[in-house]
Amino acid sequence: MPLVVRPSPIHAVGVYTTTPIRKGARVVEYAGPRITPQEADRLYDGAGRTYLYGLEDGKTVIDGEGLGAYLNHSCDPNCEADEIQGRVWLFALRDIAAGEELVWDYNLYDDEAPAPCHCGSRKCRGTMYSREWMAEMRRREARKKKLEVGQDRESKTGGTTSSPGDSDGIGRSA
Ligand SMILES: [Zn+2]
């Protein structure tokens, strides 16, 4: 499929198609070396932007490289990632016209660093995290607040708001 990398209004550069793509077509593989979540942590802890994709087995992470890893996130995507027998492909969610930027919904999870979204779509949720993960973070925040209130009552010192967090650095989910 004739794809090109060009500057993108969403983020730095993006991947564009020079020919029309049919709905359901297999567009590009999300390729890269296979590493473990532990290796991913070691390599990318604290890194601003990573290209990691966690496979369904929970034990394998693709350290994305090449065209497939260059697609930007959008909350109103025209592609979706799908894992087939341990390989991940981006498929067209709808007919895509020549010249369109190819985007998919990263649905990030398992991290707490801010990941604001600049996709500019009307459906933008303001973050590249998945709705499920945002809900989970809100639950954790609520639990933490409850805990802090409890501690204040006991020690009367209070005031601690920072926590080490439990990010494991895995960036993307299917
Ligand atoms: Zn968005």
How many alpha carbons fall within 13 Å on the CB side of residue 51? 16
Average pLDDT over residues 84-108: 96
Q: For domain 1-158+168-172, which CATH number applies: 3.40.1390.20, 2.170.270.10, 3.90.1200.10, 3.40.50.1580?
A: 2.170.270.10
Compute the distance from residue 148 Cα to the ligand 1 centre, in Å: 33
Compute the distance from residue 138 Cα to the ligand 1 centre, in Å: 19
Please count the other Cβ atoms lying within 10 Å of the Cβ belonging to residue 36: 11
How many helices (H) and strands (E) in the chain?
A: 2, 10
Question: E strands, 64-109, where?
Answer: 72-73, 79-84, 87-92, 101-104
Compute the distance from residue 101 Cα to the ligand 1 centre, in Å: 14
Compute the distance from residue 120 Cα to the ligand 1 centre, in Å: 6
Protein residues within 5 Å, CB atom, of ion ligand 1: 75, 117, 119, 124
Q: What is the mean pLDDT of the chain?
A: 87
Distance CA 69, CA 71 (A): 6
pLDDT at 150: 76
Compute the distance from residue 155 Cα to the ligand 1 centre, in Å: 43
Band of residue 109 on the pLDDT scale cut at 50, 70, 90: confident
Question: E strands, the chain, where?
Answer: 3-7, 13-17, 26-29, 34-35, 52-54, 61-63, 72-73, 79-84, 87-92, 101-104
| pTM above threshold 0.75 | yes
